[in-house]
Amino acid sequence: MENKLVKKIIVKGEIVLKTGLHIGGTNSSLNIGGPDKFVVRNPLNNQPYIPGSSLKGKMRSLLELMEGTIHNDKGSFGPTKDPKDKAGNLFGTVGENQQPSRLIVRDSPLLSKMEEFKNTDLPYTESKTEVAIDRITAKANPRTFERVPAGARFGLEMILNIFDSDDENRLVESVKESLKLVQDDYVGGHGSRGYGQIEIINLEFETRDKAHYETN
The rounded distance, in Å, linking the Cα atoms of 79 and 57 is: 10
DSSP 8-state assignment for residue 180: H
Q: Which residues pair with 48 in a beta bridge?
A: 41
Domain boundary assignment for the chain: 5-215
DSSP 8-state assignment for residue 110: B
Host H or E run for residue 55: helix 52-67
Angle between helices 168-183 and 52-67 (to 10 degrees): 100
pLDDT tens, per residue, the chain with 216 residues: 557 999 999 999 999 999 999 998 665 444 544 566 899 999 999 999 999 999 999 999 999 999 888 776 656 567 887 888 999 999 998 878 888 999 999 999 999 999 999 999 899 999 988 877 877 887 777 888 999 999 999 999 999 999 999 999 999 999 999 999 999 999 999 999 999 999 999 999 999 999 999 986
Q: Are 174 and 60 in contact (CB under 8 A)?
A: no
Give 32's contacts (C-beta < 8 A, 6+ positions apart).
Answer: none
Give how far the C-alpha of residue 151 lies from the chain's centroid of Cα atoms, to the nearest Å.
17
What is the reported pTM? Answer: 0.87
The rounded distance, in Å, linking the Cα atoms of 21 and 40 is: 11
